[in-house]
Structure 1
């Protein structure tokens, strides 16, 4: 066990989400960084996601983090299709082979995450869920999603939210007991996001936007802001990183107003390239219509940029008032906020990038996130797993007379399917996987021999 390891003992944790590298986003970064810090603290951690193109099977990342890229069909927006049963053979094999004790699922949008929670409870494993998003209550999609979330979380051991606004939203949506919901914010690695004023062109003012180009990120607002401010400030430039269906809207604006030399669309960015884009700017603009936390504004502030953002969701909790200008989600309000930032930049009243970075790096760290998550694991590890009869009673009493009975039936069928799989392939004959995780440089050459003496896995010595 690594120095400073867990007081309550090491856990074997399986992180499950449809969203992981090479896909880019806040959930993906959260899962990776949290996993690395938990490994440093002496826990065994693996990640399960779906295949991304030719990236299939098992891959090893830094510190021996094992990632299973499963051959499951993607339905929409990188989320897999689900029947609640088709993924059980694969997930059950992984949970048994890796001797998983806690299944930690991420994101309400991830079908695989909900499948994993459902199967883990059937197998008697402890479960944790982290909600990274905010939802409404009125439209049809929100009503259906909230009902499914109620079913998924009613018998989950513990829920983690990334902000207090997110906690309030999740508790209301899923009708949860607030005592089983903790708030653990996202974080940023300050060594990855450092200022570099020499990269900026101070003869112009550059506004940076790094975001998925989708509706909920407010790209329609951005399309209204760009022509208005470019007309008013000849020295203003926009640098936009990200990809998505709303890119066509920005291309149309650039074409209509002949702004090709002032609006650069960089397309999709690798995470390691984000910092190099941020340090080219003076102001960071976030136009999101809904956010539970928003890691992008922390990364931008860590690079020394003045942040201008919509006042939505958990964003007001993230940065102090002197580091962010909050605006209503409208073109006029955001333009006013950007003009205020431009005026401060011209007058030289903004804090230096180094000063801002030194403040931000003390706010959120992944090691602190890992320590707090570890306490959640220690708590759920001491809880009694609900037997099947109590689980069925909770589903039927908590989820309504129709939905509750339907999913109680699914739970019974899931249990019978698990019994069949255990009869076909007993747990005792499933090979135990090698634990390759550990601090960097601590790997050793290991062999796992099967019953016939064949080498099953071989790990590098460095």
Structure 2
């Protein structure tokens, strides 16, 4: 079956991250399989309007500025006219939202269901249940997924978390992991420093990524192991704390802060390291450790979320999320490296290349699309009942929001009937790579 798919998220290129990479790679492989795929995101700086990426991937950068944490201001109805126009112009049949943080994804899925289109959602993150931020996000997710056709999670742990947070039927949730482009992450041991053991950290320097652990780990490891150095790629509010530690312990020649990295620079940094250290407090999948293993690095990571499902036991050292646990496992990795008791970089690359491929992810996602397209479209009373069951107070608010969305649709159809919106031209050949802009 051929589908017209619209990927929607606040997170896309030129912003860098796991969600952005997932959307781009999945879209690219779905195009290869004969589907029509477009991407919708908000503007990034002066990047707005329509752009074409590799293989003819069409991206709409909508004129909505980011409000907080790269997400647009949640308004629900102001995005409806423009999204409806795009859905009709591109003849979209399935709207695929990404990330529970993305305001644009949630609003697009609501508008898609109002228009009678199928909605699929991929959850890339884990959330708690107690703090105010998680409670609010979980309530929004519950509303958004109440009328969603299907949900995809990147790990089994993520699936359990999403089912509990959104209170949805587990049968409506599939597990499809992330992948890695093995051609981009080739190992090259000659780039490593021969007389040093290099520990790499490639991450956003924020609290959720466990940077407070790293602040305590660096002085302990450098004092016990004179031949160990740290290379840290990434940026964020915790960078100041790391700079203070480097200054306090006079580690300028052993701790290197590279700042923000572009995606095409990540491999050049990874191949310089022997060990990747991941100190995250929560992870649904963590694509960074897969990329590191694909480059032949040993991985030391906190045992949180879905991390334990990602790599074979001989390629990863799992630690309890504490300074003591991470130091113990990191020292084991350093000792095994000195004794040569590690998997060779090329063997690790070969194994990861066979385990995770984007083409396999695209095939499995295509199965979800086929199943969703055969489901009957829910009528309005059924949709309202699902929203009403979301809670004694919030359920009523969700029903009001859905009814108002239908009213806005009637007004839009009156002012701009569907037959007055022209169809977008279809490219007969892929856009050459050298002429694309990213």
TM range (shorter): over 0.9
- The superposition leaves residues 327-374 of structure 1 with CA deviations (integer Å, 9 ceiling, x where unpaired) of 011111111111101101111111211111111111110000000000
- d(CA) in 1 for partners of 2:156, 2:191: 36
Secondary structure in 2 aligned to 1:362?
Answer: helix
Contact 1:207 1:283 in 2 (8 A): yes
1:29 to 12, 17, 21: 21
Contact 1:114 1:152 in 2 (8 A): yes
- Equivalent residues in 2 for 1:47-446, closer than 5 Å: 47-397=39-389, 399-436=390-427
- d(CA) in 2 for partners of 1:383, 1:278: 44
- d(CA) in 2 for partners of 1:304, 1:15: 32
Q: How far is the alpha carbon of 1:441 from its aligned partner?
A: 6.1
- d(CA) in 2 for partners of 1:290, 1:80: 24
Structure 2: which 5+ runs fail to align?
none
Q: How far is the alpha carbon of 1:83 from its aligned partner?
A: 1.3
Contact 2:53 2:431 in 1 (8 A): no
Moved beyond 4 Å, runs of 4+? 437-442
Q: How far is the alpha carbon of 1:84 from its aligned partner?
A: 0.9
- d(CA) in 2 for partners of 1:261, 1:341: 22
Distance change (3 Å), C-alpha of 1:437 and 1:171: farther
Q: How far is the alpha carbon of 1:436 from its aligned partner?
A: 3.0
- The superposition leaves residues 432-453 of structure 1 with CA deviations (integer Å, 9 ceiling, x where unpaired) of 11223866769xxxxxxxxxxx
- d(CA) in 1 for partners of 2:372, 2:199: 45
How high is the TM-score relative to the length of structure 2? Answer: 0.97
Structure 1: which 5+ runs fail to align?
1-8, 443-458
Contact 2:178 2:356 in 1 (8 A): yes
- d(CA) in 2 for partners of 1:93, 1:441: 28
Contact 2:202 2:288 in 1 (8 A): yes
Secondary structure in 2 aligned to 1:249?
Answer: helix
Partner of 1:453: none
- The superposition leaves residues 372-430 of structure 1 with CA deviations (integer Å, 9 ceiling, x where unpaired) of 00000000100111111111111112x01211111111111111111111111111111
- d(CA) in 2 for partners of 1:99, 1:252: 54
Q: How far is the alpha carbon of 1:138 from its aligned partner?
A: 1.4
Greater displacement, 253-262 / 292-301 = 253-262
- Equivalent residues in 2 for 1:437-456, closer than 5 Å: none
- d(CA) in 2 for partners of 1:116, 1:272: 30
- d(CA) in 2 for partners of 1:35, 1:190: 17
Contact 1:44 1:435 in 2 (8 A): no
Secondary structure in 1 aligned to 2:12?
Answer: coil
Secondary structure in 1 aligned to 2:341?
Answer: coil
Number of residue-to-residue matches in the alignment: 435
Contact 2:54 2:432 in 1 (8 A): no
- d(CA) in 2 for partners of 1:432, 1:65: 17
